[in-house]
Copies of this chain bind each other. A is one copy, B any other.
């Protein structure tokens, strides 16, 4: 008797096909999610005791059983079989086998959908906390980098062509600032995730007086999703919101990676990178490639693909639960894994590159100063458009300026002489979940 609700009928070839096809990798993914299911199940059991479905002794037994499962899991000794289909069944089965009738009571007032919803939100919340923390930490590294090399000149590009003078500090600071913006989106996703769906049952509530608010509080949720049906609607949709936030963040991490690929190439050669972050070639003995940066770009594309899947997967379904929503687990989990890996790698990269100042200065050629030259003429009374044309007609007379003086001379907020890093540092401090 593997699936508890499938009373009696014989396993046929068709049943196997169906089971295999529908279960997919759920039984694997649920291994990662199991602690959150345990956490939720304990609270649900407490709620059942609170409303008199369980007595204190039964509750104790269930808690004991659930703790046992968690311990087995921690030692890699708890197994979810494909026949069990998912962790929820595996848990109920364990409790029933080891604790008898009380195991048959734990599913009172809930459905698997309900369980998945709660477990997945607890999981996602925990991961968002990690991601938020890693990102805050990464911002700090970028700010440190920016401070360390604040006044090292660097050519600024537009259209991949040399445009105006900037600084290594500006480059690092701009990436720090983008990452701070993403903290806002992560926060918002966190708020949306941090509501308890527990008690929605099959999406329509049940006839027991489940203490939904108390349960929510115990799990640290910021209140309940109110209407029972909302919980079902939210499945896949909230996942899409989360993955969108990760895609926003991923875009900046991939941007940084792409910059690194070019800025460490022979053609730009702006930064030295730690050899252990490079990989070799099987045919070309001279190669030191920044593969981690390239993989970061690709992982961003994976997150964007996951977002597409999620958006499409939940489209054009009538109100209520559909099994399609079960498939939202993989794109969510994979995106979370990807972004955590990218954040870790981004930290390794930003803390293991060094500007090659000599090269950077050498690339700060005369053309970078055309706009500055026009602005000089403006300061001497010419209109900007005339100054622009004047410089344009005399481009051969442009000359490299004193780089350090130029950097310092630009003093408005955000210019090279006044990046405003201290403002970013203060902003960073104020960013917290909750």
Contact = CB atoms under 8 A, between A and B. Distances in A.
A291 B226 contact: no
A304 B295 contact: no
A277 B159 CA distance: 14
Interface in A253-292: 254-255, 258-259, 261-263, 265-268, 274-292
A430 interface: no
B389 A285 contact: yes
A313 to B, nearest CB: 4
A386 interface: yes
Interface in A85-123: 88-89, 92, 96, 101-113
Interface stretch (A32-40, A63-71, A127-135, A203-211): A203-211
Interface string A2-15: 01111101001011
A41 interface: no
A5 B311 contact: no
Copies of the protein in its oligomer:
4
Contact of A157 (B192, B210, B320, B389): B320
A287 to B, nearest CB: 7
A392 B3 CA distance: 14
B192 A286 contact: no
Contact of A309 (B254, B301, B378): B301
Contacts of A24: 295
Interface of A is mostly: helix
B160 A280 contact: no
Interface residues of A, number: 196
Given A160-B322, A251-B315, A321-B159, A229 B88 contact: no
A266 B161 contact: yes
Interface in A13-33: 14-15, 17-18, 21-22, 24
A196 to B, nearest CB: 10
Contact of A413 (B12, B88, B212): B212
B204 A323 contact: no
B309 A312 contact: no
A330 B302 CA distance: 10
Contacts of A295: 21-22, 24, 323-324, 326-327
A204 B166 contact: yes
A399 interface: no
B319 A174 contact: yes
A224 interface: yes
A289 B159 contact: yes
A15 B28 CA distance: 29
Interface in A373-432: 373-376, 378-379, 383-386, 388-389, 391-393, 395, 398, 409-416, 419-420, 423-424
Contact of A304 (B18, B311, B318): B311
A136 interface: no
Interface string A308-344: 1111111111111111111100110000000001001
Contacts of A225: 177, 414
A423 B216 CA distance: 16
22 contacts: A7-B392, A18-B276, A21-B292, A21-B341, A105-B384, A107-B283, A156-B320, A177-B230, A181-B234, A181-B238, A185-B188, A200-B414, A205-B414, A258-B315, A283-B388, A284-B371, A285-B391, A295-B323, A295-B327, A301-B312, A301-B313, A304-B312
